[in-house]
Structures are given as structure tokens and as C-alpha cells.
Amino acid sequence: MERTIEELKLIIRELIIELGELKERVSRLEFDKTGEHDKANSKPVLPGAELEKEGRKNLSEIYKQGYHICPVAYGQPRDEECLFCISFLAKE
């Protein structure tokens, strides 16, 4: 039973990641479709550090909204502060 729950959690986690990827693809397609693509072409591509900063900001937002962002319990609702999430954010 316990193993089944663990397996389900893994599946849910994979689905969350896949959903994130799909959302990214949809926004890229919409971006191309609305013609903003050409406008964006003139803008410089976000450098790696900027992307990392953006990612960190997003994770921090998810954490503040009350969800774990640590690998230990990613996506689970949290009721109190989490050592592992905070350390993960600090490391990121």
C-alpha cells in the first residue's frame, strides 16, 4: 500500500513537471502566433544568470504560496516553514 502511494507520488511529480513543460510550449506557440516573436527577436536573449534568477524567483513564489519546492516533498502543500526548501532556495 505504502509503495503504491510512493509510486503515485512519483507519477504526480512527473506529471507536474510535464505540465510545466507543456505550459512552456503553449506559451511559446502563442508567442509565435501573436507575432510578438518578431518584436522579441530584436531583444537580447536572456543570459543564463538571468534565467536562473527568474527560476529562483518562481520557486520562491511557489514556496511563499504554501508549497514545498524541495526535492524531498516537491509540490506538496506545507503548513510551516521547511528547512529543506529554504536550504534548496539558498543553494539555487
Residue 27 or 87: the one with the smaller Cβ distance to another protein is: 87
Contacts (CB under 8 A) with another protein, residues 18-47: none
Is 64 near another protein (CB under 8 A)? yes
Q: Answer whether 89's CB lies under 8 Å from 57's CB.
A: no
**Nearest CA to 77 among 68, 87, 85, 64?**
68
Q: Give me the helix-helix angle, 83-91 and 48-64, nearest 10°.
A: 160
The minimum distance between CB 43 and another protein, in angstroms, equals 27
What are the phi and psi torsion angles at 49 (to 5°)?
-65, -40
Q: How many residues in the chain?
A: 92
Site stretch for another protein (CB under 8 A), options 17-25, 26-34, 44-52, 70-78: 70-78
Residues that bind another protein (CB under 8 A): 2, 9, 60, 64, 70-73, 76, 80-84, 86-88, 90-91
